[in-house]
Structure formats: C-alpha cells, structure tokens
Amino acid sequence: MDSKTLKIKANTDNNVKFLFDSPLEGTNAYGLYHLYKFDIEGEEHSLFATDNLHEKLKDYNKGDVVNIRKEEYEAGKMGWVVTPAEGVVARPSSTTTSSNAAVGIDDRTKDIHRQVCLKLAVQSMDTSETLDFAMVKLRMEGLINILDSEDDLL
C-alpha cells in the first residue's frame, strides 16, 4: 500500500486510525524521528511526528482512533491537541518515570509555569531600583519547585 504524507494544517480536524502499535523510529540528518502510519478513510498516510506530538501519540496502539489538531495558542505559536475517539483509552508505557508525566504536565504547561513564575518573581521585588537577576532567578526557581513538587503542597 502506497503511503501519502499527512500534512496537518492549523485548526483542522484529522481523524486517524493507528496502523501499528508504535512508530518506526530511527535517526537521520535531523536527529531522532518518529514515523507514524495511519489509516484515513481507507488510505494509508505517514506522519513524521515532532517530539511534542510524539509524546501525545506514543501511548496509542494499532486500531485506536484519535483526532489530531494543530492549534495556535498564541500569535505564531502552535500546539498539538490529540483527542481519542469515544471508547479509546491511551495505554501509557511503564517506562514513564517523570512525576510530571504521571500528572499530565506537558512541555507547554511547564513553559506557562515558567512564565508565570518569572512574572511573580519580578513583581515580588522592589522595582524602583535595578533588578537583581540572581535574586529573580532564585525566586522564580523556588516558585517552579512548588508547582512541580510531588508533595501535596497546594
């Protein structure tokens, strides 16, 4: 079966059915790649997933149906949204060791946490004088540690 390349445009629905339990992985001139094969309306399509998209797809298996969307969440910035079809459940691999992965904190959420912590760290300081960047960093990292903590501090 010849495979077409799936090119996902922003803000469009792409309902796909997984043809394999895992992607074909390897390295090339661009580094590590994750090649997924999907069935879309009876035709085979291939998709080289970015690392962020791969993280959202890796726990689905052959026969699973999901909708893949590339959405603009800020001017010029795109994020991936993967929504399983009704009755489809992702099966996380047992190799996940990150506490953040266990509670569903993705890279986009971590970035938002960093931005908020930086803003709060700067606001907590007396800005009438020149900012002490070392102190801003120290306060920011302290706030990030609270957000990313495994303890139930919040």
Confidence of residue 131 (pLDDT cuts 50, 70, 90): confident
Q: Which helix (H) or strand (E) holds 113?
A: helix 107-123
C-alpha–C-alpha distance, residues 36 and 80, integer Å: 15
Contacts of 51 (CB under 8 A, 6+ apart): 32, 34
DSSP 41: T
8 A C-beta contact, residue 8 and residue 49: no
CA–chain centroid gap for 65, Å, is: 18
The pTM of the whole model exceeds 0.85? no
Using one digit for the tens of pLDDT, what is the confidence trace for 69-121? 999 888 888 899 999 998 888 887 654 444 444 445 677 777 787 888 888 88
Sign of the torsion formed by the C-alpha atoms of 58, 34, 26 and 40 = positive
C-alpha–C-alpha distance, residues 59 and 116, integer Å: 30
